[in-house]
Chains A and B, each alone.
Chain A
Amino acid sequence: MTNYLDLDIRAINELLKSKKIKPIDLVNEAFFKIEKNNLNTYITLNKEQALKKAKEIEDKEVDNLLFGIPIALKDNIITKDLKTTAASKMLENFIPTYDATVVKMINEKNMIIVGKTNMDEFAMGSTGETSYYKSVLNPWNKNKVPGGSSSGSAATVSASEVVLSLGSDTGGSVRQPSSFCGVVGMKPTYGRVSRYGLISFASSLDQIGTISKNVYDNALILSAISGKDDNDMTSFDLPTDFISNIDKDVSNMSVAVPNFYLSEQVDVEVKNIILKTIDVVKNMGIKVDYVDVKHLDYSVCLYQTIALAEASSNLARFDGIRYGYISEKFENLDELYKNTRTEGFGVEVKRRLMIGSYVLSGKNAHIYYDKALKVRSELTKSLKNVLSKYDLIIGPTSTNVAYDLNSDEKDYLTSFTDDLLTIPANMAGLPAMSMPVGFNDEKLPVGLHIISNSYKEDVIYNFAYKLEKKLNINNNLAGDSNV
């Protein structure tokens, strides 16, 4: 078996350009590994179409760096004629009639879609275990969760089954699994990437994100899928070149570490790795200050209120009438709704829909939802305030490393605190990345969380690219990346 998928994109591109390999070699390697690894990273493989596409582009000019690169899509991204389930029984047999905007952009680059990755149902969860399908396994340790909700997207890149993947991030769903799987995961500025064709969870927080093995590749794919889309009114029109400045000198940068990000809620080993990384950052000549950021501690409450309220509305369309699962047992309309949604949604989704409906119901809208919007805007202000003085905010991505599979007996409330450190960026619409910076004693990856001001993804990439070089972490499961 070949190991081309361990290489970075620029190296693969050289091989393709010099005709040493063909796109189909990459596709064959991807499917071989996916089948061999058996990590449950995919819900649907796009094998036939991927092979066809690889053949089709074989004689075409290799006109861009992403040409022929295999990519995986989280299964909440709509693909025309390719089953899209959001890992729910509700959409078990759902074949969309249109392509998401990002899918069109990927196709324009002649990238090859390998399949639809496994995830937490409707992106609700942080372990991958709420999927209607089998749980995704963490490539670093198959007894551990890969994180979630973009579980398969992070794991498949980590296991070098593909070079790139897309996920979605509502409260940390790209960054947290990237941290758990030792890969680079970026949630861009809200509105940077069109959400048209992303199955909505919480519209004001959702953002499609990019996952890769290294920082440069991540900047490449984000550049390719960014930009204003007439189909998404929340998207914006700003330059999308994240490459030009990536190697710029960073020694005049300044970063802030919120004290909250190193509080006792963070695992000691994780904390130590982050502190070591901060020392490296200091050694790069970058100024590091520890700061207090107001309202960070409200993040989880805000998420529970705003994300779940929006979700309760966004998921109302799954009613069994026009598409998707429909219960066989009903005598009247009320039963049709009730039974379809009872049988079609999993436990976690239903729990969240009920909380979301509750916080919007009658007087509660004022008591919870309206108040949450106010706190959200205060939190945004305090983050922006820090970012007016510092280029970046850094800290751990997650309070812990990947935990054991099937440990979900733990309190449902505490499971929400998994996203404690990632939610603030969603609330404020800020871009944020997780990059691997070390391993704990069990050889489980630890991620550094890097947040910048809105529209400043280039600053994150610049910083991360330099730090990556400095740290020289090997996040390749197979060891050396020599072919």
Chain B
Amino acid sequence: MYKATIGIEVHAFLTSDLKVFSNSKNSYSDTPNIFVNERDLGMPGTLPKLNKDVIDMALAAALALNCNINKVMHFDRKNYFYPDLPKGYQITQNKTPIGFDGYVEIEVSGETKKIRIERIHIEEDTAKSKHVGDSTYLNFNRAGCPLVEIVTKPDIKSEKEAMQYVKELRNILLYLGISDVKMEEGSLRCDANVSLSKDEVLGNKVEVKNIGSITNVGNAISYEIKRQQEILESNGTVIEETRRFDDVNKKTISMRVKEKNNDYRYFPEPDIPFVHITDEEIDKIKEKMPMLPKEMKTLFSKKGINPKNIEALLLNKELAFVMLNLGDCVNFVKASNILTGDVSGYLNEKSISLEKTNFDISRFEKIVELVDNNTISSKHVKDIIPVFLEKVDDINKIMDDLSIKQISDEDSVLKIIKEVLNKNEGAIKDYKDGKDKAFKYLMGQVMKETKGQVNPGLASKLLSQELKKQ
């Protein structure tokens, strides 16, 4: 039986206002070369100007990943020639990454596992090359944009663990508010190192680059495990190389055979003095740190929210933060149902974020309250939510406009219940025999008679009264 040993390297794009070593805007644009100054082009005589915000963001990430902090750190130059690298070197951190020896906890099939983080360091992005026919076009908007690279120890054993790790890491960065973490748009890039072995001796390592989604993290790794297994089973040798994941054909393709020792001629960047990180700065970052997914998960569990809803909430930071902002009297479980159901459904359908809607917490609480006291049904919620998100109207007005009226008059409800009971002697008998289903069936019939307009709380109360009399 072959064992897989997997390590993951993630590059996350940080959302600081300015680039990491220049005053240019750190932003994305369809228009090339507009966020560019003489530094970004590596003009002679220019020097890097370190953006302190980037240090703070990377420090927050390092702390959230439970890392030790290099309190005296420096930057290094990684020297190589490539057209997208304007200075002929990349400013990165080789010897003193801002964080080291941390971990991320993941949950796979109910078990908690620690994935150790080897290092997290700051570096600058390169320009973007676009190849058209025989020509290559360079867009320097991206040159000098801040990245953190996060490298795990080879602690990951399966594609499932890998996917869970990337999900967890993505959520942490998202909740810290330091990265957009959109793999599809390249703001989170993921490479996987995969090797297979039968024993303790590690097999040859293959690096898979260009993995564009979490699903593909799984796909790429499982393909790679299968590919390497087939080679080993036929007594072949796995070549140490860099491959890329082909999304269309769902397989990895060889890019280049790894040169044994890449000679990047690293040396400390002399243009940036050593950076000293004080305990006070660390404390300040810790104080400002928002609630992270792991803590939130614990909190939501305590509130009785089911695991499926928790996962759905954590996937959408905005929805998770709605939960945190709800008043104490609000029914959290019902609120989570509405958020992960109708609200989330609406957002997905329209491909927009909650921020872009007219969502507000007090009207939302009103909806939850109406559901909680059975004034409206889940069917009503489905109708109300789109209007609620699109308009600023009062909930009562929305209900009026949608002609949501509750039959709450006791006599009328009782009359309907009696009619239903008369037609369903069988169900009454079942109920008396202790079959719970029978009650639900009878409630359903009442709803059907009233076209869902009856106050469910009242109906339920009266129905059980009437059944007891039978």
Say yes or no: is B273 at the interface (Cβ < 8 Å to chain A).
yes
Q: State in angstroms the CA–CA spacing of A362 and B45 once bound together.
A: 28
Q: Which of A94, A315, A357, A360 has the most CB of B within 10 A?
A: A360
0/1 interface trace, chain B 138-149, chain A, CB 8 Å (1 if under): 100000000000
Contact: A313 with B79, CB < 8 Å?
yes
Contact: A91 with B44, CB < 8 Å?
yes
Shortest CB-to-CB span from A46 to chain B, Å, is: 18
Which residues of A sit under 8 angstroms from B273, Cβ to Cβ?
A: 233-234
SS of B interface (majority): loop
List residues of A (160-204) whose CB comes within 8 Å of B's CBs.
195-200, 202-204
Q: State in angstroms the CA–CA spacing of A278 and B97 once bound together.
A: 51
Q: State in angstroms the CA–CA spacing of A315 and B88 once bound together.
A: 8
Contact: A233 with B261, CB < 8 Å?
no
Contact: B48 with A233, CB < 8 Å?
yes
Which residues of A sit under 8 angstroms from B49, Cβ to Cβ?
A: 230-231, 233
Say yes or no: is A251 at the interface (Cβ < 8 Å to chain B).
no
Which residues of B sit under 8 angstroms from A322, Cβ to Cβ?
A: 41-43, 86
Say yes or no: is A310 at the interface (Cβ < 8 Å to chain B).
yes
Which residues of A sit under 8 angstroms from B86, Cβ to Cβ?
A: 317, 322
Shortest CB-to-CB span from A360 to chain B, Å, is: 4
Contact: B267 with A360, CB < 8 Å?
yes
Contact: B267 with A203, CB < 8 Å?
no
Contact: B45 with A321, CB < 8 Å?
no
List residues of A (211-246) whose CB comes within 8 Å of B's CBs.
230-234
Say yes or no: is B265 at the interface (Cβ < 8 Å to chain A).
yes
Contact: A317 with B87, CB < 8 Å?
yes
List residues of A (89-123) whose CB comes within 8 Å of B's CBs.
91, 94, 96-98, 100
- Assuming A100-B45, A199-B45, A233-B47, is B81 touching A316 (CB within 8 A)? yes
Contact: B270 with A203, CB < 8 Å?
yes
Say yes or no: is B431 at the interface (Cβ < 8 Å to chain A).
no
Q: State in angstroms the CA–CA spacing of A203 and B44 once bound together.
A: 12
Which of A96, A233, A361 makes the CB contact (< 8 A) with B50?
A233
Which residues of A sit under 8 angstroms from B270, Cβ to Cβ?
A: 202-204, 234, 310
Shortest CB-to-CB span from A75 to chain B, Å, is: 11
Say yes or no: is A86 at the interface (Cβ < 8 Å to chain B).
yes
Contact: B267 with A96, CB < 8 Å?
no
Shortest CB-to-CB span from B261 to chain A, Å, is: 6
Say yes or no: is B121 at the interface (Cβ < 8 Å to chain A).
no
Which of A199, A204, A362 makes the CB contact (< 8 A) with B44?
A199
Shortest CB-to-CB span from A283 to chain B, Å, is: 43
List residues of A (353-404) whose CB comes within 8 Å of B's CBs.
357, 360-362, 365, 369
Which of B47, B81, B83, B266 makes the CB contact (< 8 A) with A365?
B266
Contact: B46 with A196, CB < 8 Å?
yes
Contact: B261 with A362, CB < 8 Å?
yes
Which of B42, B44, B81, B267 makes the CB contact (< 8 A) with A84?
B44
Contact: B267 with A365, CB < 8 Å?
yes
Which residues of B sit under 8 angstroms from A316, Cβ to Cβ?
A: 79, 81, 87-89
0/1 interface trace, chain B 63-91, chain A, CB 8 Å (1 if under): 00000000000000101010100111100
Q: State in angstroms the CA–CA spacing of A142 and B41 once bound together.
A: 41
Q: State in angstroms the CA–CA spacing of A290 and B431 once bound together.
A: 113
Counting contact residues on chain A (CB < 8 A from B), the size range is 35 or more
Q: State in angstroms the CA–CA spacing of A91 and B138 once bound together.
A: 21
Contact: A97 with B266, CB < 8 Å?
no
Q: State in angstroms the CA–CA spacing of A147 and B38 once bound together.
A: 32
Q: State in angstroms the CA–CA spacing of A479 and B181 once bound together.
A: 73
- Assuming A333-B83, A357-B265, is B88 touching A313 (CB within 8 A)? yes
Which residues of A sit under 8 angstroms from B266, Cβ to Cβ?
A: 360, 365
Question: Which partner residue on chain A sits nearest B83 by CB separation?
Answer: A321
Contact: A98 with B89, CB < 8 Å?
no
Which residues of A sit under 8 angstroms from B81, Cβ to Cβ?
A: 316, 319, 337
Question: Which partner residue on chain B sits nearest A230 by CB separation?
Answer: B49
Contact: A360 with B45, CB < 8 Å?
no
Q: Which of B48, B89, B271 has the most CB of A within 10 A?
A: B271
Q: State in angstroms the CA–CA spacing of A84 and B43 once bound together.
A: 12
Q: State in angstroms the CA–CA spacing of A98 and B40 once bound together.
A: 13
Which residues of B sit under 8 angstroms from A196, Cβ to Cβ?
A: 45-47
- Assuming A84-B44, A337-B81, is B87 touching A233 (CB within 8 A)? no
Q: Which of B47, B48, B81, B273 has the most CB of A within 10 A?
A: B47
Which residues of B sit under 8 angstroms from A30, Cβ to Cβ?
A: none
Which residues of B sit under 8 angstroms from A199, Cβ to Cβ?
A: 44-45
Shortest CB-to-CB span from B139 to chain A, Å, is: 13
0/1 interface trace, chain A 312-337, chain B, CB 8 Å (1 if under): 11011111011100000000010001
Which of A96, A202, A234, A312 makes the CB contact (< 8 A) with B45?
A96
Contact: B45 with A317, CB < 8 Å?
no
Shortest CB-to-CB span from A442 to chain B, Å, is: 38
Contact: A317 with B88, CB < 8 Å?
yes
Contact: A319 with B267, CB < 8 Å?
no
Which residues of A sit under 8 angstroms from B50, Cβ to Cβ?
A: 233
Contact: A360 with B265, CB < 8 Å?
yes
Question: Which partner residue on chain B sits nearest A363 by CB separation?
Answer: B261
Question: Which partner residue on chain A sits nearest B79 by CB separation?
Answer: A313
Which residues of A sit under 8 angstroms from B42, Cβ to Cβ?
A: 317, 322
Q: State in angstroms the CA–CA spacing of A333 and B85 once bound together.
A: 13
Say yes or no: is A444 at the interface (Cβ < 8 Å to chain B).
no
- Assuming A78-B44, A86-B44, is B77 touching A313 (CB within 8 A)? yes
Question: Which partner residue on chain A sits nearest B44 by CB separation?
Answer: A199
0/1 interface trace, chain B 208-230, chain A, CB 8 Å (1 if under): 00000000000000000000000
Contact: A78 with B47, CB < 8 Å?
no
Say yes or no: is B200 at the interface (Cβ < 8 Å to chain A).
no
Shortest CB-to-CB span from A278 to chain B, Å, is: 36
Shortest CB-to-CB span from A257 to chain B, Å, is: 31
Which of B38, B265, B272 makes the CB contact (< 8 A) with A98?
B38
Question: Which partner residue on chain B sits nearest A321 by CB separation?
Answer: B83
Contact: A369 with B267, CB < 8 Å?
yes
Which residues of B sit under 8 angstroms from A91, Cβ to Cβ?
A: 44
Which residues of B sit under 8 angstroms from A310, Cβ to Cβ?
A: 267, 270
Question: Which partner residue on chain A sits nearest B37 by CB separation?
Answer: A98
Say yes or no: is A309 at the interface (Cβ < 8 Å to chain B).
yes
Say yes or no: is B263 at the interface (Cβ < 8 Å to chain A).
yes
Which residues of A sit under 8 angstroms from B138, Cβ to Cβ?
A: 321
Shortest CB-to-CB span from A120 to chain B, Å, is: 16
0/1 interface trace, chain B 25-46, chain A, CB 8 Å (1 if under): 0000000000000100111111
Q: State in angstroms the CA–CA spacing of A357 and B267 once bound together.
A: 11
Contact: A98 with B43, CB < 8 Å?
yes
Question: Which partner residue on chain B sits nearest A323 by CB separation?
Answer: B43
Q: State in angstroms the CA–CA spacing of A357 and B261 once bound together.
A: 15
Which residues of A sit under 8 angstroms from B263, Cβ to Cβ?
A: 361-362
Contact: A203 with B87, CB < 8 Å?
no
Contact: A195 with B43, CB < 8 Å?
no
Which residues of B sit under 8 angstroms from A362, Cβ to Cβ?
A: 261, 263
Question: Which partner residue on chain A sits nearest B266 by CB separation?
Answer: A365
Q: State in angstroms the CA–CA spacing of A277 and B263 once bound together.
A: 51
0/1 interface trace, chain B 430-466, chain A, CB 8 Å (1 if under): 0000000000000000000000000000000000000
Question: Which partner residue on chain A sits nearest B21 by CB separation?
Answer: A233
Q: State in angstroms the CA–CA spacing of A162 and B86 once bound together.
A: 37
Question: Which partner residue on chain A sits nearest B84 by CB separation?
Answer: A321
Q: Which of A77, A200, A310, A313 has the most CB of B within 10 A?
A: A313
Question: Which partner residue on chain A sits nearest B87 by CB separation?
Answer: A317
- Assuming A233-B48, A233-B271, A310-B270, is B43 touching A96 (CB within 8 A)? yes
Known A200-B47, A317-B42; further 5 A-B contacts with Cβ < 8 A? A78-B45, A198-B45, A233-B49, A233-B272, A313-B77
* 6 A-B pairs (CB sep. < 8 Å): A197-B46, A199-B44, A199-B45, A316-B88, A317-B42, A317-B44
Closest 6 CB pairs of A and B: A316-B88, A360-B265, A204-B270, A203-B270, A78-B45, A197-B45
